[in-house]
Structure 1
């Protein structure tokens, strides 16, 4: 190798060594840590929690009667206002009574005629009984007369039944309310021929004070409901959503548990009675029902939004304070401050609703859990707690 080549090779090696030394001596650049994730938190605390069950209910009239004519004839008048409240016995409609008045008159006349015949037969029997005592007539004649009296007495009894039937049919020409309640829409107008076979009757009357609400619960709730019902009356609240808010419609009590479980749905039907003073419940309407079975006292609870589901079951993100240790090569600086981090803690749950969840194990009272912003978190993530929201009331 020539002297010039050796010199060039030495220069290249020296230059490479210089670059390596520079790279080694260059201080390492630290990438900035990601900013803390903003979250909102709440504390686990003890509270008395009402254990309630929710279901969709159907409002049902306390009593429903379809008013149907008992006789056939032209309906001459309607004596109620549609949609009004009528009392039991109030006149609703009238059917032309003239054919039934004539039938009653005919039955009365026939009965009077047969009563006269019976009186004659009885007088004749008395005379025959006097004559036979003196042996003026035979015993066979007296026996025949007794049979005649018995026959006439049966005919009069039959006439009495016909008179009762005629009077009853005549009373049916005045159609009255069988119960107290609210009338519906009139199905047949005056002037039409009505009969017991009139489809849908004349009008339907419903009692809505009080009123029933039917709803169903899963069969798993049956033991708890039965225990509570045996101990005390169970209060039921019916409410509806109005403008995004929950409006209470009425308060009632549970009255009936069905005697079978629906095999196709695995649910049990229950019936609650409401006084319905404000007529907030109307037959056929759907409402949400809340059934309070008991109160769990001194239960550890967190907001339900804090509970998350993982592969191994429910957990919460709990907040803890972490103070990073400074490197051994440099002294502690004021920048090494405590930071807030989260830890995923498995929990065992009790009763839960849309607002609160009872924690059986996993948390202690006073621990802070994440209620907003948890979708971006992971164990050990740094967080920044946002201030609480302040609600402003409007008059």
Structure 2
């Protein structure tokens, strides 16, 4: 019983002490952050897209007549020039056809000569009224028939010569041949699939890629002004630059399913880094913004107010400052409005800040952005523990 009374008394004393005791208020210490100054610089406006290497010409060589394949004059993977020998079809049957056509031509040529000679004689007799009008007219028609027969025979000879030429198959374009599709000894027929061989032009080559309809106007403005827009191509994982070229053609229709338009750029491809049908990453340099307000990309956040930065005030506090974003190259982001050159923004430690918080600057890092790199990546954002989102490398496509 005495123990219970003692316990109750202690509890009462503790409650009274808690309720009436003086509380020690400890203020929030300043947060250590890194800051940088907004500066003026150039920013390239780049459109990133996935592209496909599209050869200038891809030709499937098909036989134009039927016959046995007697020879193949290329090696698989060989580079060939236009007009180079590829394959031979047995020409003997077509040579016989040519001989027959030449013989028929000789026969009809003789008939034509005889009929013309008779027409000369009939003309003299007709002038002397010595033969019937019908006989003279019939001879004129006979000459015309023989002339037509000679023309037909000449066409037959030409067709036979063309068939003989078709037996000797040559490369219609310069390029690289693929794997052999048919071997000597096989009987091939006219336009048989898959054909004799496929030839692909390796250099020069082109790359096809698409841009969204919202970005088409700025491309058209530059192209219509006569600008040669540079295009840079990287490998599929964006780790190696493969080639540089220029934009030379735009499709005449928008793809309604995707809201994009197809563009084509040309490349010399002398080193053959671009392989036909290869997937690549393309970067189209549309324009360059001069004297733009630039801040380090980590300073740009996104949250309930929209896009904003923590602006450093003169009393070593920060305030939420809404901004309008422009292109980015990953390291720096353009501020279209809401910020002036020379103002300082927080670049590191933003996850511990709030509007009006006190700060302590660790190191000041001025943003030098005289020349921003041309390579830009797709927009990304990172979730901070505080719920604010920091912009990653924002795409320069707008």
TM over 0.5: yes
Does residue 263 of structure 2 align to residue 270 of structure 1? yes
Q: Per-residue displacement from partner, 1:210-265 (whole Å, max 9, x unpaired)?
A: 211111111111211111112221111111256xx632211111111211211111
- Alpha-carbon deviation of 1:276? 1.4
Task: Show the counterpart of 1:184.
Answer: 178
Q: Indicate how the Cα distance of structure 1 residues 110 and 40 shifts in structure 2: closer, same or farther if over 3 A, else same.
A: farther
Residues 97 and 160 of structure 2 are in contact (CA less than 8 Å); yes or no, is this contact kept in structure 1?
yes
Of 356, 361, 370, the match for 2:346: 370
Task: Give the Cα–Cα distance (whole angstroms) in 2 for the partners of residues 101 and 312 of structure 1.
Answer: 86
Task: Show the counterpart of 1:360.
Answer: 336
Does residue 102 of structure 2 align to residue 108 of structure 1? yes
Of 50, 62, 85, the match for 1:68: 62
Task: Show the counterpart of 1:350.
Answer: 326
Residues 47 and 284 of structure 2 are in contact (CA less than 8 Å); yes or no, is this contact kept in structure 1?
yes
- Alpha-carbon deviation of 1:371? 3.3
Of 212, 227, 233, the match for 2:228: 233
Residues 295 and 334 of structure 2 are in contact (CA less than 8 Å); yes or no, is this contact kept in structure 1?
yes
Q: Indicate how the Cα distance of structure 1 residues 273 and 263 shifts in structure 2: closer, same or farther if over 3 A, else same.
A: same
- Alpha-carbon deviation of 1:42? 3.3
For the aligned residues, what is the CA RMSD? 2.7
Q: Which structure 1 segments of 5+ residues have no match?
A: 1-11, 323-339, 389-395
Does residue 197 of structure 2 align to residue 197 of structure 1? no
Aligned positions of 1:1-395 closer than 5 A: 28-31=23-26, 33=28, 36=31, 39-231=33-225, 232-240=227-235, 246-320=239-313, 322=315, 341-379=317-355, 380=357, 382=359, 385=362
- Higher Cα Rg, which structure: 1
Residues 30 and 358 of structure 2 are in contact (CA less than 8 Å); yes or no, is this contact kept in structure 1?
no
- Alpha-carbon deviation of 1:43? 2.7
With structure 1 as the length reference, what TM-score do the two structures score? 0.81
Residues 83 and 183 of structure 1 are in contact (CA less than 8 Å); yes or no, is this contact kept in structure 2?
yes
Task: Show the counterpart of 2:394.
Answer: none
With structure 2 as the length reference, what TM-score do the two structures score? 0.80
Task: Give the Cα–Cα distance (whole angstroms) in 1 for the partners of residues 252 and 364 of structure 2.
Answer: 53
